[in-house]
Copies of this chain bind each other. A is one copy, B any other.
Amino acid sequence: MSETSVVESRLREAGIVLPGAAAPVANYVGAVRSGRSLTVSGQLCLDGEGRLVARGRLGEHISPQEGREAAKACAINLLAQVKHAAGSLDRVVRVVRLGGFINAVPDFVDLPAVMNGASDLMVLAFGDAGRHARSTIGVASLPLGAAVEVEGLFEVDGDA
């Protein structure tokens, strides 16, 4: 990191270090810029070394607290993609939307508390500009058996 990023400094003070952006593994990419919108691919709950922090379903193998940590890991990976695509997290004008996909058994309904792990990270990073629209759903399965996947839409400044 050659420049001082206000947002990254704030994250580091909270003990959060961004990993490298996960490399594309097929014919898609981590993020696409169109105008001032940056659309980020769904990110799994992988840690900085590419390992799942939670594998399995909420309401079965994964506790709500583990799910919340998994959602936070997804959010950190979203920010890594934003930094890679936009050059710096300081170019984020607004977190527009998060979409949360929670791997859950049909009877598990406290999906919002799990998703808060991702939402809280955005507000930690960006303050009020991190407050976003969101949709949270329980899904039948996720890639690699991940417990949580989160996608994001960001408004960024400057030219594409």
Q: List A residues 110-149 near B (Cβ within 8 Å).
A: 110-112, 115-116, 119-120, 122-123, 130-145, 149
A interface residue count range (under 10 / 10 to 19 / 20 to 34 / 35 or more): 35 or more
Bound form: Cα–Cα A98–B28 in Å: 9
Q: Is the CB of B30 within 8 A of A133?
A: yes
Bound form: Cα–Cα A46–B133 in Å: 18
Bound form: Cα–Cα A17–B62 in Å: 41
Q: Which residues of B contact A151 (CB under 8 A)?
A: 133, 135
Residue in A34, A37, A102, A140 with the greatest tally of chain B CB atoms within 10 Å: A140
Q: Which residues of B contact A107 (CB under 8 A)?
A: 141
Q: Is the CB of A141 within 8 A of B106?
A: yes
Q: List 16 A-B contacts (CB under 8 A).
A: A27-B130, A27-B131, A28-B133, A29-B133, A31-B133, A32-B132, A34-B37, A34-B94, A35-B35, A99-B135, A106-B140, A108-B141, A109-B141, A109-B145, A111-B141, A138-B142
